[in-house]
Amino acid sequence: MSSEPLHADRDQVLAFRLSGHNLTQRLPAGSLLEATGACGIQNTPPGSAVLGLHARVDALSLDQVDAALGVDRTLLQAWSMRGSPFFFPATDWPLFTVGVQPMSEASLSAAMQSLDAMIQAGGIPLTELVELAATGIGQALDGRQLTKWELGVELGKRMPPQLRPWFEHGTFYGANLARLVSLHGLFCFAPRSGKEASFIRTDQWLGHPLPAPDERQARAELVRRYLRCYGPSTPDHFAEWAGIAAADAQHSWKLGQEEMVEVRFESSQCWLFRDDLTAFESSPAAAGVRLLPPYDMWLHQRDRTTLIADRRLHTLVWRSTGNPGVMLVEGRVAGLWRPQKKGKRLLLTAMPFVALSAAARAAIAAEAAAIALLRDCTTADMTFDEDSLQR
């Protein structure tokens, strides 16, 4: 590691991160694996991942995404970081599952806080409980596809008698326990059954047994991908981003720390991988307009003032519920947007933070038209609300 840390400014950091997220310029048509492999694409709420891919891949269509997920099966969707559904390359399944597994009884306990009542009633050690759930889910999904509700019911049938009542009403306990089992790579999302998500065993969906994952390699590679998208950064920010315990994040971080260099950014000690320095020092400027969906990976930067310097705007962008989408103009957050679907019409309201040029407005309208097609609409009606957010 270098004895003399580098120093970086905000523009340099943002340029590097935009490039890592493939938001500097769109990838060539069909580059779904490269786009999702950077750091995953979160699918919250359902359908957002398609919009996130549209912001990164040229000429994207719903048919391409459906084919990658359901026909070629080169993409998977599974519960991953922070218990959220993610798109990622099928070959990367260990990174986005095993790479964020709780590593100790303490970190497992923190991850299972929502299940405390059931755990106390069951009187079963946490590790054993997860193992029982993994076995039960593997059996329940053997040769079939189940909705979230059905999976919870079937899992309940296979749990010890004292735990079965917790699975009888609703999906809360079954779904939250299943989220932890998902980090074993055991199952993934299948095509939806009506309006409810459905699941299938990963090995049976892909048509071959899964190789034993290299946990050490998966954890180290996830840190590498993180730093290419969010660097320079820190282990604490990595823990928050991945939704894992600080001790687990430190363990993963140390696996690659000998290959890192220190970067001083806004008086903080941060890190980058040495082999990313050339890209960091020569990242191109971003061009054009993107309409990012709520919870887009770009918005998961933990140092939010780097992304948006005006703290007064943070509560508008990052809400407790109902987050808006964000407009990027030449790589900078320029405002918010919200859609409303009415039949085959998409009504899109843009709320700028700053004055927009005529060219930017035209580009935003063009993006809205493309998003309308991805939302199964035939037209997009744009409204610019200049008053509510203008600064």
pLDDT at 30: 97
Residues 190 and 228 in one domain: no
C-alpha to C-alpha distance for 326 and 295, rounded to whole angstroms: 9
Residue that finishes a domain, picked among 191, 206, 221: 206
Whether residue 328 sits in one domain with residue 192: no
Average pLDDT over residues 199-210: 96
Q: Are 24 and 284 in contact (CB under 8 A)?
A: yes
Residue 34 to residue 88: CA distance in whole angstroms: 9
118 vs 24, more confident: 24
SS3 assignment for 278-346:
HHHHCCCCCCCEEEECCCCHHHHCCCHHHHCCCHHHHHHHCCCCCCCEEEEECCEEEEEEEEEEECCEE
Note whether 156 and 127 are same-domain residues.
yes
At 22 the pLDDT is 98
Same domain, yes or no: 14 and 82:
yes
Whether the pLDDT of residue 285 is over 60: the answer is yes
**Whether pLDDT at 208 is above 50:** yes
183, 206, 229 — which closes off a domain? 206
Residue 120 pLDDT level (bands cut at 50, 70, 90) = confident
Structure confidence by residue, pLDDT tens digits, 297-339: 999 999 999 999 999 999 999 998 889 999 999 999 999 999 9
pLDDT in tens, 218-253: 999 999 999 999 999 999 999 999 999 999 999 999
pLDDT of 337: 97
* Mean pLDDT in residue range 145-171: 89
Domain-embedded: residue 119 = yes
Residue type, 295: Y
Give the model's pLDDT for residue 391: 45
Are residues 197 and 115 part of one domain? Answer: yes
Domain assignment present for 159: yes
* Cα distance between residue 251 and residue 256, in whole Å: 10
Q: Is residue 358 part of a domain?
A: yes
**In 120-195, at which residue ranges do the beta strands (DSSP E only) sit?**
146-147, 187-193
In a domain, 338, yes or no: yes
Sorted by sequence, the CB contacts under 8 Å of residue 361 that are 6+ apart come out as 384
Please report whether residue 286 resides in a domain: no
Same domain, 117 and 174: yes
**Overall domain count for the chain:** 3
β pairing state of 260-265 and 6-8: parallel
> What element of type H or E holds 176?
helix 172-182
Residue 298 resides in a domain: no
User: Helices 235-242 and 246-254, interaxial angle, to 10°?
Assistant: 120
Does one domain contain both 89 and 224? yes
Q: Is residue 112 predicted with pLDDT exceeding 80? A: yes
User: Which of 119, 177, 127, 117 has its CA nearest to residue 148?
Assistant: 177
Q: Distance between CA 293 and CA 289 in Å, rounded?
A: 13
- Region 95-123: mean pLDDT is 90
What pLDDT was estimated at residue 194?
Answer: 73
In a domain, 142, yes or no: yes
Q: Say if residue 104 is in the same domain as residue 195.
A: yes
Examine the domain organization and report whether 222 and 355 are in the same domain. no
| pTM listed for this prediction | 0.94
Distance separating alpha carbons of residues 284 and 298, to the nearest angstrom: 17
Considering the domain architecture, whether residues 18 and 53 belong to the same structural domain is answered as: yes
3-state secondary structure of 122: helix
Q: What is the pLDDT of residues 336-358, one digit of tens each?
A: 999 999 999 999 999 999 999 99
Residues 88 and 145 both lie in one domain: no
Kindly state whether residues 107 and 193 are assigned to the same domain. yes
Which band of pLDDT confidence, cut at 50, 70 and 90, is reported for residue 2? very low
Query: Among the three residues 206, 229, 252, which one is the final residue of a domain in this structure?
Result: 206
> What is the average pLDDT score of the chain?
93
pLDDT surpasses 80 at 104:
yes
Indicate the angle between helix axes 126-140 and 172-182, nearest 10 degrees: 90
Q: Are 93 and 78 in contact (CB under 8 A)?
A: yes
Per the structure block, which two tokens stand in for 56?
A: 């990164």
Geometric angle at alpha carbon 203, from 199 and 209, rounded to 5°: 170
pLDDT value for 1: 45
Evaluate whether residue 293 is within a structural domain. no
Domain that holds residue 193: 98-206
| 42-62: average pLDDT | 96
